[in-house]
Amino acid sequence: MALIKSLFFLFLPHEMEAGLFLGQLHYRQLFYVYAAISLVLGIYLTYGGFRAREHQPAT
């Protein structure tokens, strides 16, 4: 989600960035929703990374 947001901000003019970030995404009202999505995704990726088994090289 952060990568997509960063790519949008990279190519949008400054005036549109502020309007999109604060107005369209309702960042102030949905801050905890966005934070929860990032937290759940981070936990899932961390769990998957530590749970992954070691791959055996092909012979």
- Per-residue pLDDT of 27-55, as tens digits, reads 778 889 889 999 999 999 999 888 877 76
Say which DSSP state 59 is in: -
Residue 21 pLDDT class (50, 70, 90 cuts) = low
For residue 2, tell me if it sits in a domain.
no
The total of structural domains in the chain comes to 1
Task: Write down the pLDDT at residue 16.
Answer: 75
Q: How confident is the model at residue 58, as a pLDDT? A: 65
56 in a structural domain: no
User: Does the structure show a pLDDT above 70 at 59?
Assistant: no
pLDDT for position 37? 92
Whether 18 maps to a domain, the answer reads: no
